[in-house]
Amino acid sequence: MRIAPSPTGLLHVGTARAALYNWLFARKNNGKFILRIEDTDIVRSSKEMLTSILDGLSWLGIDWDEGPFFQSERLEIYKKYADKIYEGGKAYYCYCTPEELAERRERAKREKRDLKYDRNCLGLSEEEKMKLEDEKRPKALRFLVPEGETSFQDIIHGQVKKSNEEIEDFIIMKSDGTPTYNLAVVVDDFKMGITHTIRGDDHIPNTPKQVLLYKALNLTPPKFAHLPLILGEDKSKLSKRHGAISVTQYRDEGFLPEALFNFLVLLGWSPGDDREIMSKEEILKSFSLERISKTAAVFDVEKLEWMNGVYINKLSDEKLLDMVTPSLLEKGWVDRDFLEKKREFLVSIVSLLKKRMRRLNDFVRYSSYFFNDVEEYENKGVKKHFKEDTPDHIKALKKRLEKQDDFSQENLESIFRDLAEELDIKPSRLIHPVRLAVTGETVGPGLFEILEIIGKNCVIKRLTKTIEYIKLINNEKNGAIV
């Protein structure tokens, strides 16, 4: 088994899913998983893209047994096989320039003729060839497609047939001496002993060409399995607007590798039951190519976030704290000394917030008020919960809290409810304004748990600040001079 990404782009979900399926099939069948880098496009290939690919695969937990092999380092091997095809009379040199080819295609389009290459160079005389050689005209090597039909058996799609009349004489070696994709993949798969080629079904049009090359070289093709496409939720081709970002970007945006692994595997494959959360070991045990669907899978970002939240909740509080610590340091909310001395405080925040988290980045988003004073209050909350009598209610609560040595959530809840009864108001008339006062927000985890973690002094300070704020906005509303 192999995965052969090109370092002309980042590792995206389609390639990552194909890598997972190849890796799973190799591990399930005690085979080898090979990493090959298709970098013959020297101009567009880059070290940055290669690093993204290697980092993305490693982060997902996809290890390789051999490689990475680089096609750019195997050019002599491809030339040897191209020469063999040529010497067998199954290829010919094409001297047509790109401009000439473009002009002939345009002419064929206007005349509504077949746009295939017209085999102009196949019929060149030896004298014409010598003249072109003397001119040092660049030449590419074209495969001579025979008459008839080419077919192959696909593990997912069944038998696929194509009339050779629909296949033009395709180039196998470019004029610069580099192989085209179809020749390189055939040679590499043969030389590396690849038994199964699992890839996206956008490669189906290439496969008949590759089968023809295998036959021309008297080689046995591998078994093919072409994976269904991954579509966006609107059933159009997957793109960035659907959440199709690179694997390393998912990592940077707070997704866990186990969650993305689990999610990608289920895009087109099913274990045969309703299971959705599966460990790598469970997936490996159930995996088979026969359970891959023929229909396109839909990339649902919300489902991925839900799944990631499940995996986050499986982490211990200590482990999760270690994972979010870099974000806290980056924000400047903590330093190394704080991390060491206040670890229990930090673990309690993690424990409180982790049920709401869908991404690791959510921790910073949800935890600001534990580390920073509240600078502003949610506008809709101010309108709804900061009433004219709210300062009096908060003052009464503040007096009670100042006398408390027990700042546990159980005792705090009792204080709130007792006071609400005395004031003859619903407990929510205290709870919602206090939540807004202490966090600046209208929703979040349990208020009493928040108050216990923030602590008595900080809570009283924020309540005092809120009393003054509400008085100010009430005075402005009533037109008073402040």
pLDDT digits (tens, 9 = 90+) for 198-219: 999 999 999 999 999 999 999 9
Lowest mean pLDDT among 37-51, 147-161, 173-187: 37-51
Cα–Cα distance measured from residue 377 to residue 382, given in angstroms and rounded to the nearest whole number: 7
pLDDT of residue 225: 97
Give the distance between the most distant pair of CA atoms in the chain.
Answer: 110
Strand partners for 269? 292
Instruction: Name the strand (E) or helix (H) holding 49.
Output: helix 47-60
Q: Work out the number of other CB atoms within 10 angstroms of the CB of residue 374.
A: 17
- Report CA-CA distances (Å) from 131 to 15, 124, 317, 323: 46, 11, 77, 68
pLDDT at 240 over 80: no
Cα–Cα distance measured from residue 342 to residue 336, given in angstroms and rounded to the nearest whole number: 10
Phi/psi at 37 (5° precision): -105, 115
Radius of gyration of the chain (CA): 33
Q: What is the mean pLDDT of residues 364-382?
A: 96
Cα–Cα distance measured from residue 339 to residue 350, given in angstroms and rounded to the nearest whole number: 13
Angle (nearest 5°) at CA 71 between 67 and 73: 90
230 CB burial (10 A radius; 0-12, 13-18, 19+): buried
Cα–Cα distance measured from residue 56 to residue 248, given in angstroms and rounded to the nearest whole number: 5
pLDDT at 19 over 80: yes
pLDDT of residue 276: 96
The contacts found for 408-413 with CB under 8 angstroms, 24 or more apart, are 408/452, 409/446, 409/448, 409/449, 409/451, 409/452, 410/448, 412/448, 412/451, 412/452, 413/448
Q: What is the mean pLDDT of residues 299-315?
A: 97
pLDDT at 482 over 60: no
pLDDT of residue 159: 97
Cα–Cα distance measured from residue 366 to residue 447, given in angstroms and rounded to the nearest whole number: 14
| Residue range 164-197, pLDDT digits in tens | 999 999 999 999 999 999 999 999 999 999 999 9
Specify the CATH class of 77-173 in words.
alpha beta
Q: What is the mean pLDDT of residues 392-415?
A: 97
Please name the CATH architecture into which domain 240-311 falls.
Answer: Orthogonal Bundle (1.10)
CA-CA-CA-CA torsion for 29, 35, 41, 45, nearest 10 degrees?
140
Confirm if 45 and 39 have CB atoms less than 8 A apart.
yes
pLDDT at 27 over 70: yes
Cα–Cα distance measured from residue 467 to residue 434, given in angstroms and rounded to the nearest whole number: 10
Unique residue bearing structure tokens 């591998």:
222
Fold of 379-477: Arc Repressor Mutant, subunit A (1.10.10)
CA-CA-CA-CA torsion for 390, 395, 397, 403, nearest 10 degrees?
170
pLDDT at 363 over 60: yes
Q: State which CATH number among 3.40.50.1110, 3.40.50.300, 3.20.20.80, 3.40.50.620 fits the domain covering 2-70+189-230.
A: 3.40.50.620
Strand partners for 3? 35
pLDDT at 151 over 70: yes
Q: State the average pLDDT for the chain.
A: 94
Q: How far apart are the first and last CA of the chain?
A: 76
pLDDT at 263 over 60: yes
pLDDT of residue 105: 87
pLDDT of residue 479: 64
pLDDT of residue 442: 96
Confirm if 6 and 39 have CB atoms less than 8 A apart.
yes
Strand partners for 170? none
Q: Of 439 and 8, which is predicted with more confidence?
A: 439
Catalytic residue among 80, 240, 380, 383: 240
| Residue range 336-348, pLDDT digits in tens | 999 999 999 999 9
Confirm if 387 and 427 have CB atoms less than 8 A apart.
no
Q: What is the mean pLDDT of residues 438-452?
A: 97
Angle between helices 362-371 and 317-331 (to 10 degrees): 70
Per-residue confidence band for 42, with pLDDT thresholds at 50, 70 and 90? confident
Indicate if 84 belongs to the active site. Answer: no
Minimal CA–CA distance to 6: which of 36, 28, 48, 43?
36
Confirm if 3 and 69 have CB atoms less than 8 A apart.
no
Q: What is the mean pLDDT of residues 291-314?
A: 96
Per-residue confidence band for 480, with pLDDT thresholds at 50, 70 and 90? low
pLDDT at 415 over 70: yes
Of the CA atoms within 13 Å of residue 103, those in its CB half-sphere come to 5
Return the structure tokens found at 476. 């402005």
Return the structure tokens found at 120. 């102009």
